[in-house]
Amino acid sequence: MDELPALQTTLLTAIAAAGDEAALEALRIAALGKKGSVSALLATLGKMSPDERKVQGAAINALKDIVSAALVTRKSELAEKTLTVRLISETIDITLPVRPSGLESGRIHPITQVIDELTAIFHDMGFAVADGPDIETDEYNFTMLNFPPGHPAREMHDTFFMPAKPDGTRHVLRTHTSPVQIRTMLTHKPPIRVIIPGRTYRCDSDQTHTPMFHQVEGLVIDKSSHMGHLKWVLEEFCKAFFEVNDVKMRFRPSHFPFTEPSMEVDIQCRRTGDDIRFGEGEDWLEILGCGMVHPNVIRNCGLDPDIYQGFAWGLGIDRIAMLKYGMPDLRAFFDADQRWIDHYGFRPLDLPSLVAGLSG
């Protein structure tokens, strides 16, 4: 068989040129498979004479052995090449610095930090934390809080109304956290001492207002609370929150439907450019609203205003966060800007406490 040397050369050349294991397997089948070129030569041995079979059989089997050995060698080479490529692609550069853990890179949002600070201060005064839904009934958000029909706060330019129900009633995105005061008085017997931090919603947006913002309200209901208690609570809160030894406050008459009498509270401060320092100076800054709970509100919650009385206050969490930590624009609170949170955020383990300090 004169074709054996040529076939051997062709097969060995093809095996050496195989670029991957799939191509090599195809060559193996083409040469040594059931219908392969070498197998076809072995099938011709049955038609030869004994002497020819002896000579040609040895030559064909030798070709088969050479091709098989070449296949094994090339397969090993391809496997090594594949491994080398994989190792290069999966190499870990151990000279790179270790990435910081979440505890090092993560930051607590200033709103969360301030809520924790508020909670720590009022918890030390004996207040619990109350919560309620963001979507409220008109009754809880307005009517039971002594808002008469036609009050401007019910109008579309202040309130986000939900679509009307078949009976004509509409839910609202709560415009303040005061509905939780109603829910608390309806479900808890006095004495009541709670604070209510949470999200609120109004149709407003500028440098100091956003459609969604955060409030904290406080409520005290018992048989003996009075204005002096209210003033003490607010003074102690301001001293603790702004971390000053003394603070002067000014109470001005105002009007809120759910308190009577009602007051706006100013706090003494010193302004130096964009910097505001509390507990000193000759300026005043409005910081919150407060008053004695209106008898109608107490009555609406099933309590006798001739027996029970109380006081309440409310302030913007976003606003006092801006004042304490020097943030110029309220809208940045909600921009999800990583650079902003890296600058103004707080380390996760620096939890506020009255012992270790509030601002970390």
- Summarize the annotated binding site as residue ranges: 260
Q: Which residues are annotated as a binding site for Mg(2+)?
A: 260
Distance separating alpha carbons of residues 84 and 342, to the nearest angstrom: 42
Using CA atoms, how far residue 81 sits from 14, 69, 77, 257, 262, in Å, is 18, 18, 6, 81, 83
Using CA atoms, how far residue 197 sits from 29, 177, 187, 279, 293, in Å, is 76, 7, 18, 25, 18
Kindly provide the b/e burial profile for residues 293-327, where b requires at least 16 CB atoms within 10 angstroms of the residue's own CB.
bbbebbebbebebeebbbbbbbbbbbbbbbbbeeb
The token pair at 351 is: 């939890």
Contact 144, 183 (CB under 8 A): no
Name the CA radius of gyration of the chain, rounded. 41
Contact 359, 324 (CB under 8 A): yes
